[in-house]
Structure 1
């Protein structure tokens, strides 16, 4: 399941400048967020196995986010950018 959403507002130039000034860190943060989203969805499956009505969507979300992680990771790998350490709290953007 993949959704496409239109952005309501354009990104600010200040945000774009921040990202472009340290694009490697942006990619590391983005990959980490995708990994965490996948892990969180699957942790809910484990925590609430009796919630049959949400399990299919949680699984689909976990897979989709893991696919996003794979895409970002492959781009980073091609550029020689390492993943950030998992124990580092980032969320820079």
Structure 2
């Protein structure tokens, strides 16, 4: 499962707009939103292109963001709250 919090942090760090990233991946903004939030899964090619756009070169970081078995929707939501200081 995708670590939503870490992916959003990487997108923010990059300074790229989500809508532009979606177009570069061949996705609609809504489709990209669904993938970021684990409502649907990223395809391998999308992960590859997204990592190139975000300049994520570390295999470890890629695995932690996109193939994190320890992340589920509840964990992701909890981490979002923690990052906002709400938990």
Which band: TM-score by shorter chain?
A: under 0.3
- With normalisation by structure 2, the TM-score equals 0.28
